[in-house]
Structure 1
Amino acid sequence: MDRALSAPGKLFVSGEYAVLWGGVARVAAVAPRTEAYVRRREDARVHVCLEEGTLAGSVTPKGVRWAREVPQGFLFVARALDEALRAHGRASQGFDLAIAPSAVGPNGQKLGMGGSACATVLAAEGARYVLEERHDTLKLALLAHTLGQGGKGSGGDVAASFAGGVLRYRRYDVSPLVDASNGGRLGAALVESPSVDVWRLPVPRVAMAYAFTGESASTKVLIGQVEARLEEVGRRAFVARSDTVGQSVEEGLAGGDFRAFTEAVTAQHALLLELGPLETEAMRRVLSMASAYGCAGKLSGAGGGDGCILFAPDAEARAELCKGLEARGFHTLLLEPESGVRGETHVDARLRAWMDALV
């Protein structure tokens, strides 16, 4: 039994930080996609093949018994496999899982499009398939990714990679699942727990793009810094304002008055900057150019690097903006909403080769 899979990356459209504190985020699932390949074994061994190398172990009802300490680069995938086996809750055959590296920019830096969340979703869905389970992959991936981040993160990136499209999302409380996992009741808890608050929005009628600034940022570190500066009362006030602006952004995605939409996007960006120095000089240059081309934009994600999501009234204006940005050294991507995690008919040759090389 084997299966090829792929899942998209993500970009936040609105609601960054607010979603951590009970607010609503809008998140887009976007290319480039990441591919994976999973294959069941005849024995009880497990192998995870990544670009960094291979991690081996053996299956148990309480997770994988890894042969060595899990390296940082394998952390999210390993956690997803552990939780999938805990949800399964009984002896099973082993399997091998290979996941391609996430996309990088021209200089080899990560693009900041949710690579760890995408890998977590692929691992959770791949394990569910070979274990022949019917549990909720999204809930399990949210659990694994939250644990991998030490409790930080909203899960919006996980939801986008799983469900696809442009989503309205509210943070899911995984603490009951954590307790259930520790108590040997994860399979039942995945069935009994509330549904994830996620809704797919209509396909945007504005053209979207992404500009990478050439600087990568640590989401976990930035979240910690912001939360250390903002007390509970301030967080509640921020969430109320963010939700109001986010609703205007959502309405603007449907088309109509692009000027009003630009004002909403600009307001969302300005609101994020109230949290601290999240905007870099490169971001300022990108957004200044977007304005000069009659387009709109904002930082996407935690800030401090990575890039900006850009909006244009039509495809022609988007093409001109991206051409101008590329001429000034910025890496750009044209964006269209992508479908969520899915099976593929073709196996990435690299992934098959990694797996065939296993002893």
Structure 2
Amino acid sequence: MKGHDFLITVKAPGKLYIAGEYAVVETGFPAILVALNQFVTVTVEESNDYGSINSKQYQENSLYWKREGNNMVFDNRDNPFHYILSAIRLTEIYAQSLNKEMKCYHLHIDSSLDSPDGKKYGLGSSAAVTVATIKALCRFYNLQMTKDKLFKLAAIAHLDIQGNGSLGDIAASVYGGWIAYRSFDRDWLKTARKIYSLRKLITLKWPALNIELLEPPSNLQLLIGWTGSPASTSHLVDAVSLKKTEQRVAYEQFLAESKACISRMITGFRSKSINIIQKEIRFNRHLLKNLGKLSTVEIETPLLHRLCDSAEAVNGAAKTSGAGGGDCGIVVIDKRLDTTELKRSWETAGIVPLNLHVHRVTD
């Protein structure tokens, strides 16, 4: 099993938020996401003497390391691989707790989650690379890994680097398809990490965490438009957080209304009603626009506004996706309707229709 005859390749999908953004960063508040057929692919190949981490996207920044006992020792240089390194660290801690022997390996990462010229679409590349790295190393070290455990391990690795966020993008990458996600109590996790071993922690029930797979109505079509300008989720979430203390009452109302909206939308999925889903997409757009005003953060940019209004004109329900401020907008529309004109109007406005589809995870 040495050298070139032992290759492991895994992939993890990107994601988009359908509804429930911003509220989902609070413990127990729900959102709906979808996994898409654009992937981060990770390949692991065993090596005798030294290890490497390299990426097609960061060719000039390949990273080399060697073993000293069980520790990885890196060349001392800047690197763009924080999430990958965090994923490796946690997976190896877990592997060592199961008495696995540490090995050297070459890790190769390839991503289709950004545009060809390197701009981010906002499809959750840091979450997908975290999930794919852990999946690949679990196979490499022959570790049995359920989706629930994979989610928890990847959530911890991601949180160690990002520090905020709901981890819904990790859930979409792990479970695939359409999901309803409710975020866990991060304060509990902070305390629990001091008390439990990693091995124990990923078997525990995490307070408030809930992940449910949804089946959309058969006539539902999801359209995605990209505005061409990337947005920083962490920065936008922080900006809203700063305002929530001084606007406590209004923020609490936003949370309550978002929770009720997502709950109704989930009912729409369960009863296979595109009308209910569309109605709640529109209501969620309205909530997010109000939150933007409240926080003085531009969630729905002029181009996203144009994307949404043009979709509404042809009976589609549309809103910003994720933190807004750029990136993508989504449209839920009856697939029997002709969307040729809509896409043409997007292209005229400088909005790129992304030819993406929902991805279901089978393994």
Q: In the alignment, what sits opposite 1:14?
A: 19
Q: Paired residue for 1:147?
A: 160
Aligned partner of 2:168 among 156, 179, 195: 156
Aligned to 1:317: 338
Find the counterpart in structure 2 of residue 81 from structure 1: 88
User: Using the alignment, how far apart are the partners of 1:25 and 1:60 within structure 2?
Assistant: 44
Summarize the Cα distance change of 1:93–1:326 in structure 2 as closer, same or farther, 3 Å threshold.
Answer: same
- Alignment correspondent of 2:108: 98
**What code does the residue aligned with 1:172 have?**
F
Match of 2:63 among 35, 55, 66: 55
Quick check: 1:39 aligned with 2:80?
no
Taking the TM superposition and a 5 Å limit, the aligned residue runs for 1:186-205 are 186-194=198-206, 196-205=209-218
The correspondence for 2:30, drawn from 15, 24, 28, is 24
**Residue 221 (structure 1) aligns with:** 235
Match of 1:132 in 2: 142
Q: Which structure 2 segments of 5+ residues have no match?
A: 1-5, 293-297
Q: How far 1:148 sits from its partner (Å)?
A: 1.2
**CA separation in 1, counterparts of 2:90 and 2:81?**
14
Instruction: Pick 1 or 2: higher relative contact order, CA cutoff 8 A, min separation 6.
Output: 1
Q: Residues of 2 paired with 1:325 and 1:75: CA distance?
A: 36
Identify which of 273, 281, 286 aligns with 2:289.
273
Please report how far the alpha carbon of residue 310 of structure 1 lies from its aligned counterpart in structure 2 after TM superposition: 0.9
Contiguous gaps of at least 5 residues in structure 1: 343-359
**For the aligned residues, what is the CA RMSD?**
2.6
Q: CA deviation at 1:80?
A: 0.6
Tell me by how many angstroms 1:123 deviates: 0.8
Residue by residue over 1:87-113, the C-alpha shift from the partner in whole angstroms, topping out at 9 and shown as x without a partner, is 122541122211113433466421111
Cα separation, 2, equivalents of 1:204 and 1:6: 27
Aligned residues of 2:261 and 2:280 also touching (Cα < 8 A): yes
* 2:111 counterpart SS class: coil
Task: Choose which of 257, 264, 282 in structure 2 pairs with 1:248.
Answer: 264
> How far did residue 260 of structure 1 move?
4.5
Partner of 1:165: 177
Q: 1:197 to 1:245 in 2, by over 3 A?
A: same
The aligned counterpart of 2:350 is 329
Percentage of pairs with the same residue = 27
Deviation, 1:114, is: 0.5
Alpha-carbon offset, residue 4 of structure 1: 1.4
For the pair 1:112 / 2:122, whether they are aligned, the reply is yes
Using the TM superposition, give the Cα deviation of residue 138 of structure 1 relative to its aligned residue in structure 2, in angstroms: 1.3
CA offset digits 1:250-306 (Å, max 9, x no partner) = 334467665544332111011112222211110011111101122111100011110
2-side partners of 1:106 and 1:331: how far apart? 13
Contact 1:76–1:145 (Cα < 8 Å) also in 2: yes
